[in-house]
Chains A and B, each alone.
Chain A
Amino acid sequence: MRALRALALAATLAAVCVLPALAGSEADPDPCDPGTLLCTLAAPQSVQVNPHPLNADGTAIEVPASGALAPVEVVVPMPAPGFVDPMAQGQFGGSSAWGSVYGPYADGALDAGGGSGDRGSGGDPAAAAGVEGGQGGPWGAAQALAMAGLAVTSVAATASQGMSRLSSGLGRWSSSGRSGAGSAGRGARLGGYGRGGLAGGGGSRRNREDRLLPRADWLPGSSTVSSGWGGAGKSLYAPPPPTPKPEPSETPTPPGVTPTASSTPSPAQGTITPVVTPTPPEPPGYVAPVPPEVSGKTIGWLGRGVKFVRSVSNAVTASAIQFVALESGKVGVRVGPAVASGSKIAFRTPYGFAGTHYNPSTIGSITGRGLLRGALSKGPLGISAVTSLAANLLDYGLGKNKDKGILSPEFAASTMVDYGLAAGAGLLAAGGVAIVGGLATAGLVALGATFTAPLWLAVGATAAVGLVIGLALDHFGVGDSLKAKVVDGFKAWGGISNNVKVIGGVMAERATSALRQSRDAIVAKAQDAGKALGGFVGGLAASVTSGVRKVASDAKSLVRRAGDTVVKTAQGVGKAVTGFVGGVLGKAKDSVERLKGSVISKLPKVSLPKVSLPKITLPKVSLPKVSLPKITLPKVSLPKISLPKISLPKVSLPKVSAPKISWPKLSGR
């Protein structure tokens, strides 16, 4: 029986554990054929039944590939405008480095054109030299990066706004499609505006200016790229090959993502155009666009992991604001066609360009303010905070102030002061550069030439000034004195709070005593008034009573005298008369009492006002605990004085033995 049980158990275990494994695919040497009923599919798998479907008429059907998310097009509102000078001026192929219509060769061009304003027709040296194609050329890129090519301030303002936007949200910059487009557009815009020498003619100034406005050639595939400087110059970033762009009608623009005018624009401003469509078929010979060169490769030494550098550069190059030198001597502010038509005003307004035509000096002042704002934006303030915190952590954690520690008030004071000094020095440096740059711009604009500082000069000047200011602050001990004062302030807080408590207690005591005095005075006055009234009434009553009593006494004496007379004259009638007179006197007394009562009742009731004294809750004056320092007296260990043992010399007195005196015995006889 036991053997049967063991056999049954072994069979059960074999059925549960072994047989399913043997029934698996490995156990089956013949894999199942697709399509047979015996071979079922596993759940997550699928089989493409007919990879080449046909229509009923036998024509092939192109099965589109599965949909893919196209790059999201984001136009970042960066004020790094490209200064597209449409007039081919000078030997640079119309470089706008000269800033405006008053460029170095503008006058010559005008004169050669017979004053017709046809810049391209005659005397433009660039056109004559055959370098008309490169309107912007490399200049455009520089001016785009250098913020309009107008003022030294503009370049830094460009970077500042870019940096501020970086700090606002890096993630929004990283739009793969837009970055390439921005770079390409920059390159295209740089070199692609080749109509400077041809734009002249008989048109009106307005028409000419309209023709001079930048075109959409910085969008991928919308323009050919020609380089300035006789074709030798390259654009700042290599333009990518044209990217197939969906038709605008097929591109839904979600509402609510258009930028709004505000003083601090958010990085998300712009037109975000999500496109989720199947990947369009690639044209023959299409080469997939490569990422632009502006990437970590150009700053490899900074590290490829510093993604924000790439993001910022992409953001800057993706700017859409463009400055155009107009024939009227002003500068037109345009927004590239990448921004929707209804959003252009809102796009450029946050950058201070609400209008479309400005004097160059006005643009310089606007960008100068941008520079100052940039010094107070999140980026510089964050850098100041980080550097001050790191330096003080190093100093108070591992440096010479290690004994004080990072939890000491000295550390807090040092960090605060360093942060404030760094931020203030940065602002001062930016302000100085902005002011001087604005003045230089104004001075040269007055001459008809616009001064444009390269980006590195503006940034370098600002950094150098900040460097010297920081060094001088530390060298002359400004920071140390401030820190000492701040630390004293920290330490004084305990005493200040105690003093506040004491002062509050004294003031409360004074107030209480004053209230008591006033209350006592009120009570005393009330009592005096009551006494005065009571005395008046009592006096009145007493006088009335005394008068009545006098009358009564007079009448009594009269009656007595009359009685005596009557007694004397008629003693028999005396008793009766006496009784009569007594009754009269009694009635007179009653009438007097009634008179007294009526007089008193007619006196006004004097009701003393109830004086409700305020409840005075005296503040609890908690005197500071004075913890007397424990005075531990030092243990004074007196030196042990071992007195020398004085051993007195033993004096051995000589034994004095008295001589025995033997008296002679005397006999009494």
Chain B
Amino acid sequence: MAKQGRRNRPSSSSWPWWKAATLAPVGLGVFGAVFAFVPPYSSTALKVAIGLILAGTVAAVWSVTRPNWWAAIAFINSWLFLMLGTAMRAWANIIPQVWVWLVPLVAAYVVAWALPAISPKLSARLLREQFAPETRWGRGCLTLFLVVGPAAGALGASVGMYGSRFGQGTAVIIVIAVLFSAVSVGFAQAVAEQSWPKRPWAQHSDSGLKDAAR
């Protein structure tokens, strides 16, 4: 039993707390800056970003040092909230009617997190399609992403710079809104599907079933 417990306790978390505490603000800071400085600059967004960065840093240190499902989920959510907020700010620039885009976006995010509980098969199928698309278009998209993968940042920066310079700022904002919405919802679904089996209450129920079987 002790051996099994040692086996169950992973040894792969090799990040010390100070490393997580150092890198988490940097990584989240990039997304926080993106969130705050999506034109136009918003001081309120900056405050929210700072709060999310701090919360995410604490959650990262917590999840790395003491494995905790909630801490890991909190860290990932702080990251996804930054991306979701960026998408919201971009949508707000384009469509002044807030409810037009806010309701679908938030609903999609919530459904993405809840999909493993609502429809496990659909959730698994969605994730599988993201990994290994079976359709022709999916494979094409995968190939395209493989090609542009390493240059994605530089390509995005170029589009952002020159798009606004040549008077296509609205189009750039639309691309930002769509891209951040898709990425945040997609990440939420992927993380939810992969972390769902490790939820604490499921482990408790499994242990209860084991005790009952004995």
Known A139-B132, A446-B63; contact A464-B10, beta-carbon cutoff 8 A? no
Chain B residues within 8 Å of A446, by CB: 10, 12-13, 63-64, 66-67, 72
Chain B residues within 8 Å of A429, by CB: 30, 152-153, 156-157
A421 touches B8 (CB 8 A): no
Q: How far is the CB of B145 from chain A (nearest CB, A)?
A: 5
Most buried by A among B10, B13, B23: B10
Chain B residues within 8 Å of A158, by CB: 146, 149
Of all chain B residues, the one with the shortest Cβ separation from A142 is B131
* Partner of A448 from B83, B124, B198 at Cβ < 8 Å: B198
Chain A residues within 8 Å of B206, by CB: 107-108
How many B residues are at the interface, by size bracket?
35 or more
Q: How far is the CA of A668 from the CA of B8 in the complex (A)?
A: 183
A464 touches B37 (CB 8 A): no
Known A110-B7, A159-B146, A447-B68; contact A457-B157, beta-carbon cutoff 8 A? no
A471 touches B195 (CB 8 A): no
A471 touches B169 (CB 8 A): yes
Q: How far is the CA of A377 from the CA of B169 in the complex (A)?
A: 29
Q: How far is the CB of B83 from chain A (nearest CB, A)?
A: 7
Known A443-B72, A471-B164; contact A299-B140, beta-carbon cutoff 8 A? yes
Chain A residues within 8 Å of B133, by CB: 236
A163 in contact (CB, < 8 A): yes
Q: How far is the CB of A199 from chain B (nearest CB, A)?
A: 17
B46 in contact (CB, < 8 A): no
Q: How far is the CA of A302 from the CA of B140 in the complex (A)?
A: 9
Known A164-B150, A298-B139, A459-B149; contact A471-B172, beta-carbon cutoff 8 A? yes
Chain A residues within 8 Å of B212, by CB: none
B148 in contact (CB, < 8 A): yes
B176 touches A456 (CB 8 A): no
Chain B residues within 8 Å of A88, by CB: none
B127 in contact (CB, < 8 A): yes
Chain B residues within 8 Å of A329, by CB: 7, 10-12
Of all chain B residues, the one with the shortest Cβ separation from A464 is B179
Chain A residues within 8 Å of B162, by CB: 387, 391, 418, 470, 474
B176 touches A467 (CB 8 A): yes
Chain B residues within 8 Å of A387, by CB: 154-155, 158, 162
Most buried by A among B68, B71, B143: B143
Q: How far is the CA of A98 from the CA of B127 in the complex (A)?
A: 12
Q: Which of A463-492 contact B (CB under 8 A)?
A: 463-476, 479
Q: Could you list 6 examples of A-B contacts with CB < 8 Å? A: A108-B206, A294-B143, A387-B154, A429-B152, A454-B130, A465-B156
Chain A residues within 8 Å of B159, by CB: 467, 470
A470 touches B11 (CB 8 A): no
Chain A residues within 8 Å of B130, by CB: 142, 454-457
Q: How far is the CB of A155 from chain B (nearest CB, A)?
A: 7
Binding site for A on B (CB under 8 A): 1, 3-4, 7-8, 10-15, 20, 23-24, 26-31, 34, 37-41, 59-60, 63-64, 66-69, 71-72, 75-76, 79, 83, 86, 120, 124, 127-128, 130-134, 136, 139-166, 169, 172-173, 175-176, 179-180, 182-183, 186-187, 190-191, 193-198, 203, 206, 210
Q: How far is the CA of A463 from the CA of B175 in the complex (A)?
A: 10
B160 touches A426 (CB 8 A): no
B186 touches A454 (CB 8 A): yes
Interface of B is mostly: helix
Chain B residues within 8 Å of A475, by CB: 39-40, 164, 169
Most buried by A among B59, B60, B142: B142
Q: How far is the CA of A18 from the CA of B183 in the complex (A)?
A: 84
Q: How far is the CA of A105 from the CA of B120 in the complex (A)?
A: 15
B147 touches A159 (CB 8 A): yes
* Partner of B150 from A163, A294, A395, A422 at Cβ < 8 Å: A163
A383 touches B179 (CB 8 A): no
Known A164-B150, A442-B13; contact A470-B27, beta-carbon cutoff 8 A? no
A75 in contact (CB, < 8 A): no
Chain A residues within 8 Å of B197, by CB: 90, 98, 103-105, 449
Contact with B along A259-290 (1 / 0, CB 8 A): 00000000000000000000000000000000
* Partner of A360 from B12, B86, B196 at Cβ < 8 Å: B12
Q: Total interface residues on A, using CB and 8 Å?
A: 133
Contact with B along A437-453 (1 / 0, CB 8 A): 01110111111111111
Of all chain A residues, the one with the shortest Cβ separation from B160 is A470
Q: How far is the CB of A315 from chain B (nearest CB, A)?
A: 9
Q: How far is the CB of B14 from chain A (nearest CB, A)?
A: 5
A348 in contact (CB, < 8 A): no
Of all chain B residues, the one with the shortest Cβ separation from A103 is B197
* Partner of B39 from A115, A146, A395, A472 at Cβ < 8 Å: A472
Q: How far is the CA of A216 from the CA of B162 in the complex (A)?
A: 48
Q: How far is the CA of A236 from the CA of B143 in the complex (A)?
A: 11
B198 touches A104 (CB 8 A): yes
Most buried by B among A140, A300, A377, A456: A456
Q: How far is the CA of A450 from the CA of B190 in the complex (A)?
A: 11
Chain B residues within 8 Å of A156, by CB: 149-150, 152
Contact with B along A394-438 (1 / 0, CB 8 A): 110001000000000000000000100111111111111111101
A466 touches B198 (CB 8 A): no
Of all chain A residues, the one with the shortest Cβ separation from B29 is A432
A388 in contact (CB, < 8 A): yes
Chain A residues within 8 Å of B136, by CB: 293, 297-298
Contact with B along A312-345 (1 / 0, CB 8 A): 1100100000000000011000000000000000
Chain B residues within 8 Å of A462, by CB: 149, 152-153, 156
* Partner of B79 from A237, A293, A436 at Cβ < 8 Å: A436
B153 touches A159 (CB 8 A): no
B143 touches A460 (CB 8 A): no
A209 in contact (CB, < 8 A): no
Of all chain B residues, the one with the shortest Cβ separation from A473 is B161
Q: How far is the CB of A329 from chain B (nearest CB, A)?
A: 6
A463 touches B79 (CB 8 A): no
B153 touches A380 (CB 8 A): yes
A229 in contact (CB, < 8 A): yes
A439 touches B24 (CB 8 A): yes
A177 in contact (CB, < 8 A): no
A312 touches B150 (CB 8 A): no
Known A359-B12, A447-B68, A455-B145; contact A436-B165, beta-carbon cutoff 8 A? no
B131 touches A146 (CB 8 A): yes
A442 touches B131 (CB 8 A): no
Chain A residues within 8 Å of B179, by CB: 460, 463-464, 467
A258 in contact (CB, < 8 A): no
B63 touches A160 (CB 8 A): no
Chain B residues within 8 Å of A141, by CB: 131-132
A383 touches B155 (CB 8 A): yes
Chain A residues within 8 Å of B141, by CB: 456
Contact with B along A10-48 (1 / 0, CB 8 A): 000000000000000000000000000000000000000
A383 touches B195 (CB 8 A): no
Known A299-B144, A442-B64, A446-B10; contact A97-B153, beta-carbon cutoff 8 A? no
Q: How far is the CA of A471 from the CA of B90 in the complex (A)?
A: 12
A467 touches B75 (CB 8 A): no
Q: How far is the CB of A148 from chain B (nearest CB, A)?
A: 12
B83 touches A461 (CB 8 A): yes
Q: How far is the CA of A460 from the CA of B141 in the complex (A)?
A: 12
A442 touches B15 (CB 8 A): yes
